[in-house]
């Protein structure tokens, strides 16, 4: 089989064995009117009172949104824009004019949103009509309000969540850490965000980030009226003549012989510009409302049901296609740490029931892995990479992490929107730990910087053929091989052992 897969900004055709399993998302199932679905969900929530019963006429409201980090890649027109616009309209209908509404962007540890990102929160028409305030959360603010504690960690949140009559979360159900109560965590303090961990991004069991979000939601509900609406998003898809990739066989076969493959021969800057210009769309399948955790849990279950791929048993080796941008907003070119975070912390944590690889299995990452860090915006990643070059263990990284969390220049760069929070690289690297603890090896196929791969504890190879050969050897002969056609990444439901 000849299977086209993304390797950064290149398209690589993989000569896969006949018995390899090609993993690709199912076709999207979309609704025609997102705004109407959101309005109906707020009028008829899964539990608790409807928005009409919670809104105080002439009062104030804080609408909590997240940067559209997932799905990866995104699209300029996102259903969350329509959902936010519909929520604003519903509040106006209930007597809370937009001038008394505040949009709080809960970006967590990511680089603080700038003008360009804020302009994309609403459609142009809705943005022109909105007269309220837009505020970007600052995790280092001295004005964070305490709400008690959970598991020995203090719950501190943005004052806009408390100094209002109503809080409405408007999010999408992507993972247990993104959307719903996760948005409230994104508007909290660094210690809460740094502790928001999960073995699987689709299971609440052993997901400390979910438990923290629920505790925060319950504490907040004792102070203000609280409701949330959560969208079920479809995986993003290309438009135009490549619309069917990676969903349909014909589109996959067409890409093998398509001129698009010649992109790999162009300079990297031109390749990235052309990829950025490819038209994409993200659609929604349904919307649910209620207490944020309730609405989010139901939406996530529905999302898993219609987006997931069923796997009979774990693989010996899995080839993971890679994008050229990371999964944070604003999007930036991958560096070695975000390569690991996307492949291991995102793609290999989107599972339910069982981890998709056998214990001691091999993950093959399709990426050139150059030692590139965007100047200024990715300085915290460069600092962590230098610490990893010293061969530090997770325990030995605790001291550098504590120092980074209080480094004045790094914090100033974060607060001014010039870089991410200095703790984000440590959180990204920690997100790889659940996969690393189960894997026997991570092989980087087509690696350009072998020393960078070894710094992360990965095995570099010049191409996919030697990587597959290594995987077969590690499996003791013939490895059961899976090919993960992505992005977009999608849930894997792995059958439990009999």
Q: How many domains does the chain have?
A: 2
Partnered with residue 229 across adjacent β-strands are: 170, 289
Q: Domain boundary at 233, 268, 288, which?
A: 233
Same domain, 312 and 164: no
Same domain, 177 and 40: yes
Q: Is residue 241 part of a domain?
A: no
Within 264-337, strands assigned E span 280-281, 284-290, 309-311, 315-320
Q: Domain boundary at 212, 233, 254, which?
A: 233
Q: Is residue 283 part of a domain?
A: no
Q: Domain boundary at 170, 203, 233, which?
A: 233
Same domain, 10 and 124: no
Q: Is residue 135 part of a domain?
A: yes
Same domain, 430 and 474: yes
The gap from C-alpha 43 to its chain's centroid, in whole angstroms, comes to 29
Same domain, 19 and 44: no
Closest C-alpha to 72, from 293, 334, 255: 334
Residue by residue, pLDDT tens for the chain (498 residues) are 788 888 877 878 888 888 899 998 887 777 879 999 999 999 999 999 999 999 999 999 999 999 998 888 888 889 999 999 999 999 999 999 999 999 999 999 999 998 888 888 999 999 999 999 999 999 999 999 999 888 788 899 999 999 999 999 999 999 999 999 999 999 999 999 998 999 999 999 889 999 999 999 999 999 999 999 999 998 888 776 666 677 777 777 777 666 655 566 666 666 666 666 566 788 899 999 999 999 999 999 999 998 899 999 999 999 999 988 899 988 899 999 999 999 999 999 999 999 999 999 999 999 999 888 999 999 999 999 999 988 788 888 999 999 999 999 999 999 999 999 999 999 999 999 999 999 999 999 999 999 999 999 999 999 999 999 999 999 988 889 999 988 889 999 999 866
Same domain, 72 and 16: no
Cβ count near 317 (within 10 Å)? 26
Q: Is residue 293 part of a domain?
A: no
Q: Is residue 289 part of a domain?
A: no
Same domain, 7 and 99: no
Q: Which domain holds residue 45?
A: 34-233
Q: Is residue 407 part of a domain?
A: yes
Same domain, 9 and 47: no
Same domain, 60 and 194: yes
Same domain, 13 and 50: no
- What's the CATH number where 68 sits? 3.40.50.11440
Q: Is residue 415 part of a domain?
A: yes
Residues 185, 424, 235, CA angle at the centre, nearest 5°?
70
Same domain, 442 and 361: yes
């Amino acid at each position: 089989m000849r299977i086209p897969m993304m390797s950064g900004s290149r398209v690589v055709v993989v000569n896969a064995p006949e018995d390899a399993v090609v993993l690709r998302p199912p076709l999207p199932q979309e609704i025609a009117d997102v705004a109407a679905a959101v309005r109906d969900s707020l009028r008829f929530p899964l539990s608790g009172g409807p928005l009409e019963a919670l809104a105080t006429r002439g009062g104030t409201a804080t609408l909590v949104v997240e940067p559209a980090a997932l799905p990866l890649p995104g699209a300029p027109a996102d259903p969350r824009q329509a959902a936010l616009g519909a929520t604003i309209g519903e509040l106006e209908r209930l007597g809370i004019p937009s001038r008394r509404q505040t949009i709080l962007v809960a970006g967590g540890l990511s680089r603080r949103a700038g003008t360009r990102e804020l302009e994309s929160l609403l459609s142009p028409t809705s943005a022109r009509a909105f007269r309220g305030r837009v505020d970007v959360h600052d995790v280092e603010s001295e004005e964070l309000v305490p709400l008690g504690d959970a598991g020995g960690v203090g719950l501190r949140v943005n004052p806009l969540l408390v100094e209002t009559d109503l809080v409405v979360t408007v999010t999408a159900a992507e993972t247990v850490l993104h959307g719903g109560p996760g948005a409230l965590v994104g508007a909290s303090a660094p210690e809460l965000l740094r502790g928001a961990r999960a073995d699987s991004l689709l299971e609440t069991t052993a997901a400390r980030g979910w438990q923290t979000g629920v505790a925060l939601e319950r504490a907040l509900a004792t102070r203000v009226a609280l409701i949330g609406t959560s969208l079920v998003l479809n995986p993003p898809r290309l438009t135009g003549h490549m619309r069917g990739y990676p969903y349909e066989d014909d589109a996959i076969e067409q890409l093998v012989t398509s001129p698009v493959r010649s992109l790999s021969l162009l300079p990297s800057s031109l390749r990235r510009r052309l990829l950025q210009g490819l038209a994409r769309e993200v659609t929604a399948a349904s919307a649910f409302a209620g207490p944020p955790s309730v609405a989010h849990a139901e939406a996530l279950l529905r999302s898993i049901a219609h987006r997931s791929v069923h796997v009979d048993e774990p693989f010996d080796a899995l080839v993971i296609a890679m994008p050229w941008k990371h999964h944070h907003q604003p999007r930036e070119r991958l560096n070695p740490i975000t390569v690991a975070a996307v492949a291991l912390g995102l793609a290999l944590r989107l599972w339910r029931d069982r981890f998709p690889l056998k214990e001691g299995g091999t993950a093959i990452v399709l990426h050139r892995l150059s030692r590139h860090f965007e100047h200024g915006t990715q300085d915290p990643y460069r600092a962590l990479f230098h610490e990893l070059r010293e061969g530090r263990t997770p325990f030995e990284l605790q001291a550098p992490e504590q120092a980074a969390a209080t480094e004045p220049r790094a914090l100033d760069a974060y607060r001014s929107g010039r870089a991410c929070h200095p703790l984000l690289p440590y959180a990204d690297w920690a997100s790889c730990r659940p996969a690393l603890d189960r894997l026997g090896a991570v092989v980087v196929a087509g690696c350009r910087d072998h020393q960078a791969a070894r710094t992360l504890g990965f095995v570099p190879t010049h191409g996919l053929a030697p990587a597959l050969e290594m995987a077969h050897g590690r499996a003791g002969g013939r490895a059961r091989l899976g090919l993960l056609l992505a992005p977009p990444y999608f849930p894997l439901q792995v059958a439990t052992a009999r």
